[in-house]
Structure 1
Amino acid sequence: MKMGVWFNVSLMFLCIFFITGSLSKLERLKHPVTKSDGSLSILVVGDWGRKGQFNQSRVAHQMGIVGEQLDIDFVVSVGDNFYDDGLKGETDPSFEASFSHIYTHPSLQKQWYAVLGNHDYRGNVEAQLSHVLTQKDWRWFCRRSFILSSGMVEFFFVDTNPFVEKYFTEPKDHTYDWRNVLPRDRYISNLLHDLDRAIKKSRATWKFVVGHHGIKTAGEHGVTQELVDQLLPILKEHKVDLYINGHDHCLQHIGTKGETQFLTSGGGSKAWRGTVLPWDPKELKLYYDGQGFMSLHITRSKVNFIYYDVSGNVLHQSSLSKRSHLF
């Protein structure tokens, strides 16, 4: 590894593991700003970990091409990182088979920031959170909930899984790893308190919340009512700019001018569910029932987001202005 690259990687890890914040109990990280204009470019992908199958490898290839074109700073994963039942442990070969051996393009050799999906909770959650995986592949960073600051942007990553009542009450077709989550009510209460406090005190130009489950979605899973009741009020109160999620295996943009935009990027592998639920066409800017991913390019005055299909074709693009909030 060249000395300059090694220095940047070392600096990144210093920022990740040694910077703490006082705004809340949520772990706080910083990602270095490397571009002279202070802008930030990222890719967002979700619902991907299938050892290259179901077009995961094709999506990864196009991510690499777009990542090079945009000179991305990092990648965000919105959960369901490993199918069908998460990782069995820190030595599970699925980690390499679904991550390290798939996202091999040079442009994707950047930090990955990930949250957990419901399928991840069906395995050994602590394994995905372990620093052992980071030692295997330095790009990997996964936590339940955390705050990521980079220049003029703050990302608030939220563990949405414990909010979903049916994972606790419906017939036990699946086993979930709820270690360090129970008692559930206290976990959710503390998370919402810390999140509300952190967003309220944030001085970032742009505020994005990232979770796995959808708040507004026309996808097969439908809206997550628990998030509508408990998380959405916080987004509205603090005028959060974007809520970014996966869970539904599609690409989706729902939004109204001047309000939070809801962006789904769950097309990392298996898709084509064939289900689209009714939604107000004035709000539903994009619904694509297939594989793909999303990019964000962020400046102080504008956020551009673009959706790409499995062949790299642009499906939809839009922007949000901090001055006018016009598309």
Structure 2
Amino acid sequence: MKLTRRQFTATSAVLGTGMALTRPASAEDGSISFLLVGDWGRHGHHHQRAVARQMARTAHEIGSLHTVSVGDNFYENGVESVTDPQWQSSFEHVYTEASLQTPWKAILGNHDYRGNVQAQLDYTRHSQRWQMPARYYMETTALPGGAMAAFYYLDTSPFIKKYHGTRVAVDGQNSQEQLDWLDAKLTASKAEWNIVIGHHPIYTAQSDMDGYDHDQPDLIARLNPILRKHHVPIYICGHDHILQAVRMEGICYVCTGAGSETYRPEPAIRGGFASGAHGFMVARLSGGQLDYSLVDERGAALYSQSIVRM
């Protein structure tokens, strides 16, 4: 059963500022919980370790099943091979707690395209937790109550025109083929939830007056119409080095790009939320509801929202 605009509502701050989703997900309430983080790989610097420690505490409290990495996994220039020292200095030796030894479902960002993309795909075979089976892919998850959730992990860098012909080596990628794939998968989906995840924002709660590319016109023109066509309730991304959320035309656009280095954002626009705190996103999903919080490195939920299937 697909969500339509009449079948869900979004309510801001329903979970309460100052606390994360600390109640463990369980089969009794038919829910699962997981974390999402982006723009993190800096050898533990720029608050990366502090964010990792809080991720571990939160993951333990909520019984997180997995972590989603929304791209820019290694700065500044990706990795060179499956034995690149950054796998240890920025990943294995940073996210060390037992609660984070669950699957990491990863996608590519523009900084990853400055290095050896194939090495990130190949590391899937060298790691007990790193999962990047393809440049873009889909997974379905059975929720404890019997509902299904479909997750679409995209590769958004090839859509960004300004990258072509630069050191962000996206040339040769067939972005239309990826769009056709997504459209076909969403058309065929029988899942109660269709959740789309990419590296770059579509719409943001930030103005472009400072010259930084917050909104992405290339994705607004090409990807967003597919999300609207299929009434996708939420799009989750990174790239912008802050925590932010905004709702536009029935879709919640959430950015969790604060895994290490951040910046001080301008006041939020479009009725959205934006914070330069270092942190991550925590989500709880059941057949009837998606709750999420944007959580800082001290464990405070700076912004929370629920999307409810009606």
Give the aligned partner of residue 141 of structure 1.
131
* Contact persistence 2:40–2:48 (CA under 8 A): yes
* Contact persistence 2:40–2:259 (CA under 8 A): yes
The Cα shift of 1:69 comes to 0.7
The Cα shift of 1:60 comes to 0.3
The reply to whether residue 195 of structure 1 matches residue 182 of structure 2 is yes
* Contact persistence 1:125–1:177 (CA under 8 A): no
Q: 1:160 aligns with which of 140, 156, 161?
A: 156
The reply to whether residue 57 of structure 1 matches residue 52 of structure 2 is no
* Residues 60-105 of structure 1, C-alpha deviations (whole Å, 9 max, x = no match): 0000000011101111010000010000112101011111111111
Give the aligned partner of residue 229 of structure 1.
221
TM-score by length of 1: 0.80
The reply to whether residue 87 of structure 1 matches residue 83 of structure 2 is no
Matches of residues 31-42 of structure 1 in structure 2 within 5 Å? 35=27, 37-42=29-34
* Residues 263-321 of structure 1, C-alpha deviations (whole Å, 9 max, x = no match): 100000001x234376222xx1x211121001110011111001111111111111010
Give the aligned partner of residue 207 of structure 1.
194
Give the aligned partner of residue 259 of structure 1.
250
Aligned partners of 2:139 and 2:179: how far apart in 1?
17
Letter matched to residue 251 of structure 2: T
Letter matched to residue 206 of structure 1: W
List gaps (5 residues or longer) in structure 1. 1-32
* Residues 171-209 of structure 1, C-alpha deviations (whole Å, 9 max, x = no match): x4xx2334xx61x4xx11111111101011101111110
Q: 2:270 aligns with which of 244, 263, 280?
A: 280
* Contact persistence 2:233–2:251 (CA under 8 A): yes
The reply to whether residue 150 of structure 1 matches residue 141 of structure 2 is yes
Give the aligned partner of residue 235 of structure 2.
243
Give the aligned partner of residue 320 of structure 1.
307
Larger relative contact order (CA 8 Å, sep ≥ 6): 2
Moved over 3 A (4+): 33-38
* Residues 102-142 of structure 1, C-alpha deviations (whole Å, 9 max, x = no match): 11111111001011000000001110110xx2344210012
The reply to whether residue 96 of structure 1 matches residue 88 of structure 2 is yes
Aligned partners of 2:93 and 2:28: how far apart in 1?
32
Aligned partners of 1:113 and 1:207: how far apart in 2?
16
The alignment of Structure 1 onto Structure 2 pairs a total of residues equal to 275
Aligned partners of 2:160 and 2:97: how far apart in 1?
36
Give the aligned partner of residue 117 of structure 2.
125
List gaps (5 residues or longer) in structure 2. 1-24, 143-147, 207-211
Letter matched to residue 155 of structure 1: F
Aligned partners of 2:126 and 2:97: how far apart in 1?
17
* Contact persistence 1:218–1:276 (CA under 8 A): no
Aligned partners of 1:234 and 1:123: how far apart in 2?
30
Give the aligned partner of residue 9 of structure 2.
none
Q: SS at the partner of 1:255?
A: strand
* Contact persistence 1:222–1:277 (CA under 8 A): no
Aligned partners of 2:54 and 2:78: how far apart in 1?
25
The Cα shift of 1:34 comes to 8.7
Aligned partners of 2:27 and 2:108: how far apart in 1?
29
Aligned partners of 1:176 and 1:135: how far apart in 2?
25
Aligned partners of 1:223 and 1:88: how far apart in 2?
30
TM-score by length of 2: 0.85
Q: SS at the partner of 1:79?
A: coil
Aligned partners of 2:256 and 2:240: how far apart in 1?
8
* Contact persistence 1:44–1:75 (CA under 8 A): yes
